Amino acid sequence: MNRYLALGCLGIGLMVSPFATQLASSAVPSNPKIGLLDIERTLTETPAGKRASDAFEKTRKAKQAELDKNQADLKKADADLDRQASVMKPEVLAAKKTDLEKQFVALQQTYVKLERDLAGERTKLVHDLLEKADPIIKDIAKSEGVVLIVDREAAVWWDQTIDLTAKLQADKRMQ
């Protein structure tokens, strides 16, 4: 029984394969053209990208300043505790050191959260830029006959002739 099923499947496969080959060859261009965009450069060189980058940098600096202030306060508290250690009872000193260590751990957790939040904001920034650039990229791809555009970060090597970044940056919609 299994042999007849296998032969039947083989026969159907042989009958269908010419059609599948024809469909596959018609779906992919014979010589596909690829383009490249430098999203990072677009982010730093276009007016829209500069505005977004400046807003991100302002947020990053504000969060970093807050973190630096908390770290300075913690260092000051540690130095104060070291100066007062000789006059404190051992159990009070141990309790204050434990409290200081908890504050240090909390500061480290805040730092990790800040890094994660900033990475998320950076991702959103790039996403928003790409969303704004999407119709422009599609227009460039059509006019250039490009079937695939990759980010420069994803490419190991490329010929400069496929770099479409300047065309994206020159578009008035990116201003």
Domain containing residue 22: 1-30
Measured between alpha carbons, how far is 29 from 147 in angstroms, rounded to an integer? 9
Q: How does pLDDT run across 10-63, given as a tens digit for each residue?
A: 555 555 555 555 555 555 567 889 999 998 898 888 888 888 889 889 989 998
Residues 15 and 61 in one domain: no
Joined tokens for residue 99: 């409290």
Measured between alpha carbons, how far is 2 from 107 in angstroms, rounded to an integer? 67
Q: Is the pTM of this model over 0.75?
A: no
**Percentage of the chain lying above the pLDDT 90 cut:** 37
Residues 35 and 22 in one domain: no
Closest CA to 126 of 34, 48, 61: 48
Joined tokens for residue 65: 């300043």
State mean pLDDT over 66-79: 91
- Count of C-beta atoms within a 10 Å radius of residue 38: 19
Residues 22 and 56 in one domain: no
Of residues 7 and 154, which shows the higher confidence score?
154
Q: 173: Cβ–Cβ under 8 A, 6 or more apart, which residues?
A: 132, 135, 136
